[in-house]
Structure 1
Amino acid sequence: MIDLPTKTNLRATTKLACEIANTNPDRFNEAIHAGFYPCAPKTTPGKARSFSVDDIVALRQYQGEMDRGMSAAAAGAKACKILDFMQVYPDAPRVFIVATSFGSMDRLLPEFDVTQGFIMINDKQQIDVIGCEVINLDWHRVRIVHYITEADSNRVVGD
């Protein structure tokens, strides 16, 4: 198996990031201004946003959830949790989003045995697992690095 790069120092503009994530840039900017996507890369007036690979992974997750019918607010909250996870676990190849019987608090974990029916929350207490979503972060990262690298190699001076 060939190891493909999952990281690059190259960054993407909003236009390229939205193209990679199949997101309408105008709708994305509206979501940012409405507060639905609070983890968007910061910018200042007159300066473009600059997206890292992990920023685009989160944007792809946001758009995917929207495509599956989730509201912009809920999709943005989930994407931002995933981005936070990637900042805490930068080398995690995947994230396990474990839904528990405890309610609205899903747990994002770098490893999880999907056959396990509970999560221990301390030495004596456990919470039942009611579902688990696995996102292959490295699969997304490899593709994003490819897109960014291709865009950079095809750039015309002055773009």
Structure 2
Amino acid sequence: MSAVIRALSVAEGIVAICPFPGADGAFDADMAHIRDWKPALVISLTPEAEMVALGRGDLGAKFVEQGARWLHFPIADYGVPDAPATESWRGIERAALAALRGGGRVLIHCRAGQGRSGMIALRLMIAGGERPVAALARLRQVQPEAVETPGQMNWATSKPG
């Protein structure tokens, strides 16, 4: 199983990051593990082409079949959202914060569950009221490779426009 779920409390809920389900070939086991974790919301950061290359263009539908709300926020590997994507992020952030404040679980994944996933988790932690430096330290306690580039750090810690 490759989908190790790295979780921490945020607001009244739990944010977690993990690698792409089935990246090591154990898709069914990974999806069962995620289903048993019971996320209220799953945010996929892998672009569609990356999902297809990993053999899972249907990943969003699989999450929905398991009872999770699924939102797609594609970001290129090692990348950050551009201005239009950042604008669309606001709605995703509102949904994630609502789930967290209601005691729900939000699962974020990219390919490896590190840079992109860490960037989004950090952004949610800050939006949930944490100070950036403390939030990053706490996040890196569960995933040392979270937030891989200076650009990802800048985007995660920037004030909403």
TM-score range, shorter chain: under 0.3
**Greater RCO between the two (CA within 8 Å, min separation 6)?**
2
Larger Rg: 1
The normalised TM-score by structure 2 is 0.24
Structure with a larger share of its residues in helix:
2
The normalised TM-score by structure 1 is 0.25
